[in-house]
Amino acid sequence: MSDASSLSTPAAERKRVINASLTLGGAVGITALSFGLAAVSAGASVWQACALSFLTFTGASQFSAMSVVGAGGSMGAAFGGAALLAVRNFVYGVALAGRLANDEQGRRLPLLQRLVAAQFVIDETTAMTTAESTPRLARTAFWVTALSLFVTWNLGTLIGALAGSFLDTQALGFDAAFPAAFAAMLPPHLQTRRGKLAAITGAVVVVALTPFVPVGIPILVAVVGVMFGVRR
């Protein structure tokens, strides 16, 4: 095994990165199917589900917005929770810029190219890009992951939303796709003690506040869980 990796050529390395990125794209397409189904079951039209995937292009925020809409929450509440979840793409952007914003000679890439790349700064591209040790492989990982995800995410959403609009979503349990999807997204954020404390706080806040404040607002208050980051 160590022999193989020490002998691996740049071409083989590149192929490995491309394969991994395409495989991830396929898996994400399946997630997109469930987003399309869930969005339609929450009351969005097929086109609205597709527009979210094309323009917003950040899964957790899309699921969050539709979850609040489906529960009868206001536009502000649906927006607030989804926007807070999107803040992590800001953090990812700061981290990725050091690896991707310059070309191999260290020159800054044209602004237009950086503005296009920004749309693809999400969980999966960040994970794949930061896993690579050389700038060249990092760039390959970013762009192949970005494009394969963009295609499968949008295609999956369209198929899921079309299927959802023909089915009895309540009887088939499609509303249960939401909590299951959020639960499946959680583990990477629970690796630290403060991550676990933040998660428990978020859940407790929601259960405690729900009877007393408008739909969707407990989600916004749940962000107080970040207080566990204050102490070093």
Partner 1 sequence: MISAIVNGIALSNSQLWVLVIVLSATAYALKVLGFVVVGGRTMPPLVDRCLALIPASLLAALVAKDTFTSAQEFVVDARAIGLAVALVAVWRRAPFIVVVVAAMAATALVRAFA
Q: Minimal distance in Å, beta carbon 59 to partner 1?
A: 10
What's the CA gap between 156 and 94, in Å, rounded? 29
DSSP letter assigned to residue 160: H
**Contact in structure between 225 and 205 (CB atoms under 8 Å):** yes
Instruction: Report in angstroms how near the CB of residue 40 gets to partner 1 at its nearest.
Output: 12
Instruction: Establish if 146 lies at the interface with partner 1 (CB under 8 A).
Output: no
Q: Which is nearer to partner 1, 12 or 151 (CB)?
A: 151
Q: Between residues 12 and 226, which has the closer beta carbon with respect to partner 1?
A: 226
Task: Tell whether residue 223 is a contact of partner 1 (CB under 8 A).
Answer: yes
Least Cα distance to 24 among 114, 123, 95 occurs for 123
β-partners of residue 102 are 108
**207 burial class (0-12, 13-18, 19+ CB within 10 angstroms)?**
exposed
Question: How many Cα atoms occupy the beta-carbon half-sphere of 222 within 13 Å?
Answer: 26
Task: Considering the complex, state which of residue 10 and residue 214 has its C-beta at the smaller distance from partner 1.
Answer: 214
Of positions 5, 8, 103, 196, contacts partner 1 by CB under 8 A: 196
CA end-to-end span of the chain: 40
Three-class DSSP category at 226:
helix
Min dist. Cβ of residue 7 to partner 1 (A)? 31
Residue 52 lies near partner 1 (rule: CB under 8 A): yes
Site for partner 1 in 64-123 (CB under 8 A): 64-65, 67, 69, 71-72, 74-79, 81-94, 96-98, 100-101, 111, 114-115, 117-119, 121
CB 41 within 8 A of CB 170: yes
Of the listed pieces 11-19, 131-139, 143-151, 202-210, which binds partner 1 according to CB under 8 A?
202-210
The interface region with partner 1, picked from 3-11, 17-25, 52-60, 131-139 by CB under 8 A, is 52-60
Mask: binding to partner 1, 148-187, rule CB under 8 A, as x and -? ----------------------xxxxxxxxxxxxxxxxxx
Instruction: Classify residue 108 by its DSSP letter.
Output: B
